[in-house]
Amino acid sequence: MAGKEDQLANLEKEINAPDFWNNPSHAQLVSKTAAGFREEIQDWHALDRRLEDVLELAGMDDESLRADLEAEISALEADLEKRSFTAMLSGPYDAEDALLAIHAGAGGTDSQDWASMLMRMFLRWADQHGYSTDIWDSAEGEEAGIKSATIAINGKYAYGYLRSEKGVHRLVRLSPFDSAHRRHTSFTLVEVLPQIALDSPEVQIDPADLKIDVFRSSGAGGQNVQKNATAIRITHLPTGIVVTCQNERSQSQNREFAMRILRSRLLEIKKAEKDEEIAVLRGEYTKAEWGSQIRSYVLHPYQMVKDHRTEYETGNTQAVLDGDLDEFMEAYLRWKR
């Protein structure tokens, strides 16, 4: 905790500088970081005072206080268990907001429907945890579901929790799109990226490396069709990464969000290169197909969701599809330690 108090002191010194707000985006990032440190430090000090109070009451050896002491000790144990879980979220970006990208893979219409089911699952999980969500980009499937979607999920530790979901998700069920009602297997790729500030020094982008196209947003038709070109497509020429954003009505907003997605993707490449695990370069992501899944969701002939990395599984498939993912996330974090 002393180290974090020192970091907070340095941040507060920067905040109190006369020219601090000359760079608003950087100032907001520093202020947010300082607020997070401040909240965490105050929280630990409050826990320390609770422990001192319990020890003081226990030292009084008063039998009439036993019930209250046992209740407080149980509450403290639950608090410490929760903190031990949070302590596993110690990566450099774990406390940040997240970008979740969903891509339908092998399986045709079933895969696109599966992609929309996953989007619903993650949106419900975020809502249950009080996180705000914003769909920055989406492409509908020809018959059902979605081909792809990019969702911003904002809240403390959003990236830390969601990084357990990165990979291929496999669904086995009786297909509602097959007239013979046969069993089908579908695959969808989920990417999870940390959101970083536009002026972050971690990622430098040369404007000459960008190809920017403007086009009309696609929609369901009728009054929802955009008559003006507000959608943005940005191609990063050195890597071949292409990002689009079309869900905002303002071209400037779509451009900003597209740049934020691009920065996050470039940061992911930088991390992969650092770890000698280059899996994203030039858009060559893990293929969403047989043999590469991280988790299987089986709805027929039996009910089970199983994570193939941690071996954690449950038969309550409906709860998982309704956003009950915490046990899978915790199992992953413990396995990854």
* pLDDT-flagged residues of the chain (< 50): 220-226, 277-284, 289-290
Judge whether 264 and 193 are in contact, CB under 8 Å.
yes
Nearest-10 crossing angle of helices 2-15, 24-59: 140
236-283: per-residue pLDDT in tens?
999 999 999 987 778 888 998 999 999 999 988 887 776 654 444 434
Residue 228's pLDDT is: 63
Instruction: Tell me the pTM.
Output: 0.76
Residue 319's pLDDT is: 98
| Token pair listed for 122 | 């993650």
For a pLDDT cut of 70, what percent of the chain falls above it?
90
* b/e map 218-228, b = 16+ CB within 10 Å: eeeeeeeeeee
Strands 304-307 and 146-154: unpaired
Q: CA 329, CA 267: separation in Å to the nearest integer? A: 23
Closest to 152 in 3D by CA, of 172, 171, 138: 138
Residue 224's pLDDT is: 44
Residue 115's pLDDT is: 97
